[in-house]
Structure 1
């Protein structure tokens, strides 16, 4: 039974895996693989030795495949750690900005002293939970947005627009005191955290 290099490399996806592993997107790796296989087979005349060499190559190919899987897992894990750090730092920055900028930001939504007093009493909780919230959004983005980013972008915008329209239309009917410039603030807040 004669084994062709193309069939051998295709069976174990050597060309694809080697180009993925090396990061080089060229056919030169496949040519090298085929050339190496041809050289080994041309040097050997004994069928038993050929079979033994093929078995060794098969074992080594499976080791390479396992190594590639481990490398992929390490890359994914390091990306998760890096993005979680970014989410945590962003969350801390947002919490600090919220805590110190509460007075300036709150006038975008209302100027009612009772509402401002209630909101100010809750600002500690929001400030402390903001880093956890940011990490949760990063994790959600990694697992959900990667699959269909366009859908997520349109749905977040749509939900923000509908929520803002509903709040702006129902507020006068409920007698909720809102300052005239609250529309942009409500719209922005619904886009930030739908």
Structure 2
């Protein structure tokens, strides 16, 4: 259960990477008013005042760059296996790298035979193993996922297994 909660938090941080970047920076700035980091009246320990801001920037940028890859690796390693089907797609109204971001509605069949309705977007980068060129399943595609047992809506798409979609993807590359 604790593992599921930690994976869920990691997944949410990776999905909100730009928000997390700004939050880390502002928390670093806010830490300047906390007594252990505030400069003393005699001028000593000024170097401690510089710690929170760079730490916030490093953590935020680290999550921005590596967050999705890290969460995908952990969910693949510690998650449950299931099978999913894309039931429909919709335009999110957003663009990423001059490409329209599409959302995809998904039905996941969990390991305990429950069906969970969820979705993902082309900007989620929730494919394992992570790659520079990411291809997503389209409507009607059947593929395997790893999901968090307590939070099955948090999932990653497995692209290197024996599912029909992954085999077709491997044949096209």
Whether TM-score is above 0.5 comes out as: no
Larger radius of gyration: 1
Which structure has the highest strand share of the two?
2
User: TM-score scaled to structure 2, two decimals?
Assistant: 0.28
Which structure has the highest helix share of the two?
1
